[in-house]
Structures are given as C-alpha cells and as structure tokens.
Amino acid sequence: MRIKIALAGNPNSGKTTLFNALTGSNQFVGNWPGVTVEKKEGGLKGHKDVTLTDLPGIYSLSPYTLEEVVARNYLLKEKPDAILNIVDGTNLERNLYLTTQLLELGIPVVVAVNMMDVVNKNGDKIHVKKLAEELGCEVVEISALKGTGIKEAANRAVALAEQKKAMKSVHTFSSRIEEALNAIEAKLPDSVPEEQRRFFAIKLFERDDKVKEQLKPVPDVEDIVTAAEEELDDDSESIITNERYTFISSIITDCYTKKSKNKQTISDKIDRIVTNRWLALPIFAVVMFVVYFVSVTTVGTILTDWTNDGLFGDGWHLLDIGAAEYADASDAYSLERTKIDAYLAAAEESGIDVEAVTEALDPETENPDASAVTAFEEEAAAAGIEGTAEIYNDEGEIEETFPVSLEDFQTAAQAEEPDPANYGVWVPGLPGLIKSGLESINCAPWLEGLILDGIVAGVGAVLGFVPQMLVLFIFLAFLESCGYMARIAFIMDRIFRKFGLSGKSFIPMLIGTGCGIPGVMASRTIENERDRRMTIMTTTFIPCGAKLPIIALIAGALFHNAWWVAPSAYFVGIAAIVVSGIILKKTKMFSGEPAPFVMELPAYHWPTVGNVLRSMWERGWSFIKKAGTVILLSTIFIWFVSNFGVVDGQFQMVEDLSDGLLAVIGRFIAPIFSPLGWGEWRASVAAITGLVAKENVVGTFGILYGFAEVAENGWEIWGTLSSSFTGLSAYSFLVFNLLCAPCFAAMGAIKREMNSAKWFWFAIGYQTIFAYLVSMCVYQIGMLVTAGSFGVATVISLIVLVAFFYLLFRPYKESQRLEKEVRV
C-alpha cells in the first residue's frame, strides 16, 4: 500500500517551495472533489511508494474558509499516515497555532521549522530538542529555499508513517477547560476513534457546526459550554484561542531566544521604504510600470516578433545568418513596389483603368498577363503620367518624397521579390510548411482554407503572444515569491478602506493578473458578504493573461509599441476598481463598514530560479492548453461563419469575407458600438467572440484581417488592421475589452461564487454597461478635445462623465449616520 503524507502549513511559510523540492517533476495538479480549490499531489523523490499531498495554505482548522474545510476534511476522512507540518521559524508563535490543532488529530506529525538560515542570520536561536519535548512530536530544522534538512524531514515523516501508530496530544489547557473537554469526550459516540476524541471535543466546545455534521448522533453539550462561558466571561471560541496562545507563549519562552528584541531585520528596513505612507504607492506604480513595459514593449516584443514573423510567419534565418543581406534586398524590393504603387495611383487619378495591370503585377498572381502590363505602359506614355512616391518612417509620418517616371515604373516592374531561402540558413515558418504539405497531398481548397486561414491564422495569432505572457508571468512569480505582493495587499488596504473595501479584496485582484477564474475564487476568504460580492464584480477589471495579447496587439498595431500603452492598461483596471468601489459602496446594496484586514507579512527572500520558472510554466501552459481547446474550436467556428454565406439564395462558400454569415451578424450589431468609435463589423464581431475566450479577439482579427496572408513583415500586418481603427478608437476598443464581462469560464466562476442568478446577471450587466460607458467617454471626449467633433454621443458622454463625478463625490450616507451617532 502507498504511504500518504500530508504537507500542511500557513500561507507564505515556504510550503510550496518545500513541496516542489520534495517532489520535483512528479506532480499532479487537479481540484479537490466537489470544489474548485486546487489540489496538488506528487511522488516523494527517492520513495516510489510515498505520495505527498500539498494541503491549501491555512492558519487553522476552523471552518471559516473553503481551504480550511478542505484541509480538515482530508485529514479527518482520508487519514494520511503522517503530517509534515512546515512552520516559519521567523514567525514561530503564529505558525504554532495550526500545529497545536494538527497534534490533536491523532496523526503522527513531524514539524519542519523553515527559514532557519534567516533565523541564524538574525542571531536568534530555536532550541529544537526542547521544542520537540514541549510539543510531543519530532522537530527538524530546514531551509526549503536552500534545500537543507528537507530530506531528513521527509525521511522522518516516512518512518513515522510506516510505524502506523496513532499520536496522542501532550499539550493541555487550564484545569477548568480540561474539565469541560473531558465531560464532552464522555458524551461522544463510540464511532469517534480514540485518537480523535480530543479534537472533536474541542470543536464541539467551539460550537463548530461542520464537525456536528460528521457525528451521529450529535451529543448535547450546550450546558457544558454555557457553564464554562459564564464562569470565564467569554465566548467558547475565544476561550480556546486564548488557551492555545497561552500554551504557545510558554513554549516560546523556553524554546526561542532572540538576540535582540529591538534589532531591525533586513525585511523591516526594506518595509520602512516600500510600505511607507507616502512612498508605497509611487513605488508600486513604478514596479508595475516596469513589469508591463519590459513584458510588452521591450524583451517581450522581441520574442513575440520572432514568434509572429518567424514561427507563425514566413520563417526566420537561423542564428541571423544572412538576415542583414536579406533585409537589404527586401528593403530594395519594397522601394520598387512603392514606385509601382505611386505610379498606378497617379494613373488611376488620370482616369486610366489599372485593375488588370495591378493584378498582373501582384506577386501572388499565378500566370500573370504580360499583355496587360504592355497595354498599360503604352496608355501611360501617351498620357504623360508622372507619379510621386512617399516613404514613411516607423511612426507613420512621411519621411521622403520623390518623382516616379514611366522608366522608373518599368524598371520596378521587372524587380523580383527576394527569396529569404537564398540568403544564409533559412528555416520556414509553420504556415509555409503546412501549406506545402497540404499542396503535396492535393488537399481540397476549403480544407486548406480552414487549416491555414482558420486554425493556423487564428490560433497562431494568439500563440504568437505567448512569449510576452511568459515574461510577464516570470515577473509576477518573482514578486509573489520574494514577498512583495503580500506588501501590496497591505498597502492597498489603506486606499481600499477609504472606499469601503479591505485589503483582502486586493488579493483576488493580484491573483487575477494570471487568470480571472482563481482570482474570483479567491474572494472566498472575505467573510463580509457585501464586500465579497463587490470584489467578485470588480476582480476581472484587472488585465489577466488572456487580455495581454489584446494589449500587445493594440500597442504594436496602432501605437507603434508606444511605451505607455501596456502599463496604462493595468492602471485603467485599478482605476475601474477604485471608481466602482466608491460608487457601489454608496448604494444600499453594498453599504457598511469593510471587514478588518489582518495579514502576515513574510520575510523578504530571493526565490529560487526553479520555483519562479515552475510558476511561470504552470500559468503559461494553462494558457497554451486553452489555445489548443477553446480557442481552436472558436477559430474553426469563426472561419466557418466568415467563409460561408447565402449567395443567390444558396448557402455556399463565399469569395469575399464581407459576404459571409459573420459579416451579416457583424453589420447587425456594429451600430451598437459606433458611439465607441469602432462600429465596423470585424471589430464588433471580435469583441463578441472575446466573450468565449479573451484570446479570441486576437484570433478573430487574425482570420478577418488575414494575418497569415500578410505576414511578410510587421508593417503590413498592422497596416491591414489600421484600416478599421484610429489611435483613439483603438484605445477605446482596448478599454472596452479590458473592462467588459470576462470570458465564459470566468463567468461560470462568478456564477458559482455568487450562488445567485440575480446577483450573477447584475454583475455581468454592471461590468458590460460600465465598460461601454467608459469606452464611449474615452472616444467621444477624446474626439472633442483632439478634433473638435461634437454630436449627440458627445452630449451623452459629457452627461455620463458628470454623473460619474457626482456619484464619486456625493456624501456617503453611512459615514454621515455614524458621524451623527458619534456626536450624540
């Protein structure tokens, strides 16, 4: 039989680091049965028959959060063979509170005191042997980060598990409480195992309803509990809490020697700066700016450009061999094409029909008609056509103009497009390889279109932004592992409390930067129902990983990778949360004081490279799996409805996407988005398909704007997209997609957490309407300021803006009522 060992500990105690070190790649991630809390299991390295289960990070075995219930149910019902309890040596008193409860379960416990390297560095001393005697269990010193002592801790847990002996708790409370507990134990049914009778007695004394559900029959102990409460003048739960800390304090006195009580640690010195009342927010803003700037605009862009233009584009030169020579040849060819376009434009303005010659000179045309070129040249010579070519810089501004004569046109028409394979070592991209493979098997045209223009263009457009996401996830994993993210929740508590939320509301939002689903689920830790609902409604305003491709696409396509676009998207989300919080808290549905926020701040430490990369990969792989399932199916559907339609009364494949079913649907809904500046059918459709999965926005653009067909260089890709957007309408589009209702999966999480159809639809409606109004204000007021444009939508936007300000600054009735009560 396999040995089961449970890994238990407080959040930020180093539990995840220890689990990763003990299991390595032998991990299995899923969900606990019936709930959405993540479950991690892994095979213990060096022990084929040992399974290590990583319990959720908890502070106690009380039934306040779903994580605590899940952990307690596992320990009581699954009965692992041993518990490896990891405690933070720098915060021993707080961590031992959970330890005292674990020792009451009758399961063998090994206490692993973590962060001993930090304890020793501070000059403090933990007397391990004395601590083991006081607790009545084995205690081992470890450093999960550096890997010291972890094998010994695991081996001791395995040895205890193999003995199959129940452990009896040695710690006791005051005589009056012990008397009450003994009386309750005597009333417990015989079905309760001997080693767990003390645990059940304590929980019944605390009036734990979840424990009562596990007992048949439930003993009546109310008179015993009430008598103790009256005698000690306190409620039963507080009595037990005080008893535990009294016991822990006596242990700390004997087992923990501090070098200097007044000496500040390195973490304390850092916190004096990063949690400073005036510096905290500017530092946070700078940190997040750097994170998004590097992820989207610099390092991330370099990697994404290679993915889009190389892997999912035409291909790339291996080790850049021949890349410079090909670039020069390509620039020269582009100059010749510019001359052709300029001369044809001048001829068309003179009334000459250029359709035939344009088709003949198109590099994509098979068997071009040379006679069409000759006929055009004769007609142009007779008319004396003279063209003017314009050269643009990277910002889209005219850099140079020069005349184009007939001779220039004729020379340019003879130029051949350079083949990158003729320069250096050329590796073809996936579209080219797939196309060659399909042509070699004489694939049907419709199937070739589905694969290339649907699947490759759609999914490829999304996967092309994976490098940027991985860079972002590395930053976030580092900030979480080093301890800074915990400080952010503490910092934001000061701000959030001013508009009715506690710092607990910011924790789901931090988690939501990876994915909105776990962010929404993290709201369970908020006890206050009103605060929890408001947190659920606003958490998805924070840009998640799935929205990053939209941000990157808009930044690259219409703002030439401007440095401010990506960071501004993050701060738009923060602003939306703040504004929503202030407005909603002033309504009757959400009024009331926020729940108190208490959080343990872990010591700063350098995270291991392995942990950061593992966290990055878990988030990134989750995104890639979604691209291979939901987004794949979505792109197939989008390709089908965009390429098929009713023509002359028959349902058939269309030559022009504007004749497809998707275009019909898009033109029907497009007027809704016209006040937002992007009432064009392709943009409107992309916003709707984004409800299935936010990545679909980019995938839909990839299909409808033909990214796969024009992937020769970035300028041509963005040029096709810019035909539907201006800079202002593009930012309006970005804002709407950042703030509107999230993807279907996140909607499902909201529905589960709200546990009410009414509240679910209220949340989705609020998010969508809020996004629409903000996006409209961005575009309409932006047009008023930049172009002096004024219309009905402008008036409505100004009214909405005034309403926003009124709701933000109108008096808070709850505060006025409390102020009156204080005066009285």
Does 537 belong to an annotated binding site? no
- Evaluated on CA atoms 509, 510, 516, 520, the torsion sign reads negative
116 among annotated binding-site residues: yes
For residue 13, say whether it is annotated as part of any ligand binding site: yes
Q: What is the C-alpha separation between 65 and 768, in angstroms, rounded?
A: 30
Closest CA to 15 of 97, 86, 104, 91: 86
CA distance 788 to 780: 10
Q: Is 15 annotated as a binding residue?
A: yes
Ligand-binding site membership of 765 (annotated): no
| 626 in a labelled binding site | no
**Beta-bridge partner residues of 85:** 8, 111
Is 567 labeled as ligand-binding?
A: no
List residues bridging with 447 in a β-sheet: none
Q: Is the dihedral of CA 411, 412, 416, 418 positive or negative?
A: positive
Q: Is there a binding annotation on residue 332?
A: no
Contacting residues for 691 by C-beta, under 8 A, at least 6 apart: 741, 743, 744
The enclosing H or E element of 191 equals: none
- Rounded distance between C-alpha atoms, residue 479 and residue 284, angstroms: 11
- Closest C-alpha among 500, 601, 355, 447 to residue 814: 500
Please check if 610 is assigned to a binding site.
no
Q: Is there a binding annotation on residue 12?
A: yes
Identify residue 39 by its one-letter amino acid code. Answer: K
Which distant-in-sequence residues (6+ apart) come within 8 Å of 672 by Cβ? 679, 684
Q: CB under 8 Å to 195, separation ≥6 — which residues?
A: 105, 106, 107, 166, 167, 168
- Is 117 assigned to a binding site? yes
Q: Is 675 known to sit in a ligand binding site?
A: no
The encoded tokens of residue 360 equal 């003949």
- What is the longest distance spanned by two Cα atoms in the chain? 115
Q: Is 396 annotated as a binding residue?
A: no
21 in a labelled binding site: yes
Q: How far is CA 461 from CA 56, 182, 445, 743, in A?
A: 36, 67, 22, 18
Residue 37 among known ligand-binding residues: yes
10 is in an annotated binding site: yes
For residue 42, what is the enclosing H or E element? strand 38-43
The answer to whether the annotation marks 20 as part of a ligand binding site is yes
608 is in an annotated binding site: no
SS3 state at 177: helix
Tell me how many helices (H) and strands (E) the chain has: 39, 15
> Bridge-partner residues for 388, per DSSP?
403
Q: Among 506, 545, 600, 609, which Cα is nearest to 291's?
A: 545
User: What residues contact 391, with CB distance under 8 A and at least 6 apart?
Assistant: 335, 338, 398, 399, 400, 401, 402
371 is in an annotated binding site: no
Q: Which residues are annotated as a binding site for GTP?
A: 9-16, 34-38, 54-57, 114-117
Q: Which residues are annotated as a binding site for Mg(2+)?
A: 20-21, 23-24
Q: Which residues are annotated as a binding site?
A: 9-16, 20-21, 23-24, 34-38, 54-57, 114-117
